[in-house]
């Protein structure tokens, strides 16, 4: 039979609550020779995950490192296009993660990152402590939740790919435009040079005054 409206509402609320896990998702501009850092206070034993990808600029690479509250580097990569890093916080305090474009003198970068903190909350109340099997409705909610997570991951992936491809297309279009303008200027200069050269061939030279006196 059809699922009652109240049950559907409860199921949807549980799914939306589970999807809203703690985290930060940002796209930042990283000028040449610049570095941007972010800080997050974490409790001991909390798991965090950092995913990042360079969307545009240069060779689509960036330096990234993560430091714990004691200043110890727990992650460091150079000139990466994208990567993912997960870690369980061993000490309570402020964790720092930085993106650096200091190795680049001319390239302006745009970087996307997703910083997730903690484990995902249970979809249904007391789900982790249950001793009985899930009902058909609860199983359907779990299945829908997993499918929604896959959809969100796919949308994020294709959104980043689309932004990266658009950036490359705009860069290529700019190069083609500059090349076309350059060819037009060269053609214009060559045309004027040919006209002046041909005109000099057919210009009658007047006799000099000394020749006229003799």
CATH number of the domain within which 25 lies: 2.60.120.380
More confident residue, 152 or 89: 89
For residue range 105-137, what is the model confidence (pLDDT) as tens digits? 888 899 999 998 977 666 666 655 665 666 777
Can you tell me the mean pLDDT for 3-30?
Answer: 54
- Helix (H/G/I), strand (E/B), else coil: 29: strand
Last residue of a domain, one of 121, 146, 169: 121
Give domain status of residue 201, yes or no: no
Q: Which two tokens stand for residue 50?
A: 């950092």
Q: What is the DSSP string of 45-106?
A: T-EEEEEEEEEESTTS-EEEEEE-TTS-EEEEEEEESEEEEEEE--S-EEEEEEEE-TT-SS
The segment with the largest mean pLDDT, out of 139-148, 151-160, 192-201, is 192-201
* pLDDT > 70? residue 13: no
* pLDDT > 60? residue 140: yes
Interatomic CA distance for residues 22 and 109, integer angstroms: 27
Mean confidence (pLDDT) of the chain: 80
Residues 27 and 116 in one domain: yes
More confident residue, 73 or 167: 73
Domain that holds residue 77: 21-121
Interatomic CA distance for residues 127 and 134, integer angstroms: 9
Residues 113 and 131 in one domain: no
Residues 36 and 105 in one domain: yes
Interatomic CA distance for residues 163 and 169, integer angstroms: 10
Residues 82 and 132 in one domain: no
């Amino acid at each position: 039979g059809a699922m009652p409206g109240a049950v559907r509402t409860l199921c949807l609320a549980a799914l939306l609550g589970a999807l809203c896990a703690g985290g930060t998702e940002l796209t930042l501009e990283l000028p040449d020779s610049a570095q941007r850092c972010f800080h997050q206070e974490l409790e001991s034993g909390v798991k965090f995950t950092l995913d990042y990808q360079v969307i545009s600029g240069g060779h689509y690479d960036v330096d990234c490192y993560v430091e714990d509250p004691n200043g110890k580097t727990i992650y460091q990569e150079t000139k990466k296009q994208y990567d993912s890093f997960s870690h369980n916080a061993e000490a309570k305090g402020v964790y720092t993660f930085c993106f650096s474009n200091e190795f680049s003198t001319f390239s302006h970068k745009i970087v996307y990152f997703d910083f997730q903190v903690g484990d995902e909350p249970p979809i249904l109340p007391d789900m982790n402590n249950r001793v009985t099997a899930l009902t058909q409705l609860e199983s359907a909610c779990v299945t829908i939740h997993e499918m929604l997570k896959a959809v969100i991951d796919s949308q994020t992936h294709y959104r980043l790919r689309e932004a990266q491809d658009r950036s490359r297309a705009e860069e290529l279009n700019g190069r083609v435009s500059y090349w076309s303008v350059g060819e037009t200027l060269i053609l214009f200069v060559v045309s004027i040079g040919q006209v002046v050269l041909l005109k000099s061939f057919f210009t009658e030279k007047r006799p000099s005054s000394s020749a006229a006196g003799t």
